[in-house]
Chains A and B, each alone.
Chain A
Amino acid sequence: MSTHSHAHDDHHGHDHGDGASHGTFNSYLIGFILSVILTAIPFWLVMDGVLDSKVATAAWIMGLGVVQIVVHMVYFLHMNTKSEGGWNMLALIFTLVIVAIAIAGSLWVMYHLNTNMMPQMDHEMIRSFG
């Protein structure tokens, strides 16, 4: 511990050793147990066909996936609003916005492109066969 304390014992050196927050045995264990539960439920839902509705099952899978990602972020990646003076969180939020635009935008545009293209393609196919 003495090897690095000289670098920044001027501020918050006592708080967290290397300037980033670390987990404890308990926090890793809590994160792990939560992850196991959050992984097991969606697999169980699909493998045993628990719910009759496919839409409901899909919604549960996505919902539990998002919760598990948050669990990993908090317990394994130690994300909080204070690490690196808040820049970590700001970068994460920016990335999430871009990710949401990229994924939702792609699906939206391509779905409509597909729908709009279909009749014409059918028409051409019929013509080429006829």
Chain B
Amino acid sequence: MTMANTTASQTEAPVFYLKEEHHPQNGTMLGFWLYLMSDCLIFAILFATHGVLGRNYAAGPSPADLFDLELVAINTSMLLFSSITYGFAMLAMEKGSIKGTQMWLAITGLFGIAFVGLELYEFHHLWHIGATPMRSGFLSSFYTLVATHGLHVTFGIIWLVTLMVQVGKRGLVPENKRRLMCLSLFWHFLDVIWIGVFSVVYLLGVLG
């Protein structure tokens, strides 16, 4: 059948081009990728801001005074675990297992909540000892960058719970699969951004 189609499209040139243009998913995945790239630009600007302001302590605390790298390492592992468990959710989805997909999504969500929880704990601790965004240029850019990432993860968790409900109600229909694939890109993309955050903000910051 594929052979027949190929020969048919080769004899009629316009049809050949039409078939190339026609794409499954109506371009949603490409569109979502473009959204992620624009999101990437937001983070790039926040990274650039932190790069410029990151050493302006205004006689206040420096990263070495503030950051607990063990906490950051635990936080990083939470996000890493959530990445592979989301991968398992996608594998369960491909097998057509509703229960499996929901279970792995739930585990992913718990890791995400743990990540946001640890980050809020860190912010609360910093705030408590007087390291507020108003304290110095370094802290302003630190909170803006890290909280923007944390906010993305929070919205990712809300999206994830929404999809768990939708998969429960309608099953693994094509629409839900497409949404799960979009969230997959979103979730793994946030992990990529976090690599930049822990490398540049925390590790390079503490290094001084």
Contacts and interface: CB of A to CB of B under 8 A. Distances in A.
Interface of A: 1, 3-4, 7-8, 10-11, 17-20, 22-25, 28-29, 31-32, 35-36, 39, 42-43, 45-47, 54, 57-58, 61-62, 64-65, 68-69, 72-73, 76-77, 84-85, 87-88, 91-92, 94-95, 98-99, 102-103, 105-107, 110
B41 A28 contact: no
A92 B172 CA distance: 30
A46 B87 contact: no
Interface of B: 2, 5, 19-20, 23-25, 27, 29-30, 33-34, 37, 40-41, 44-45, 47-49, 51-52, 69-70, 72-73, 76-77, 80, 83-84, 87-88, 90-91, 94, 96, 172-174, 177-178, 181, 185, 188-189, 191-192, 195-196, 198-200, 203-204, 206-208
Contact of A35 (B19, B69, B80, B189): B80
Contact of A23 (B52, B90, B191): B90
A88 B199 contact: no
Given A10-B5, A28-B84, A54-B207, A18 B192 contact: no
B174 A36 contact: no
A36 B67 CA distance: 21
B30 A32 contact: no
Given A20-B181, A103-B47, 4 more contacts: A35-B80, A61-B199, A65-B200, A107-B51
B80 A65 contact: no
> Main SS of chain B's interface residues?
helix
B52 A106 contact: yes
A42 B25 contact: no
B87 A23 contact: yes
A11 B5 contact: yes
Contacts of A76: 83, 87, 188, 191
Nearest to A54: B207
A39 B80 contact: yes
A18 B69 contact: no
A65 B196 CA distance: 7
A4 B174 CA distance: 6
A117 to B, nearest CB: 13
Contacts of B207: 46, 54, 57-58, 61
Contacts of B199: 42, 61-62, 64-65
Given A11-B2, A29-B84, A43-B69, A18 B19 contact: no
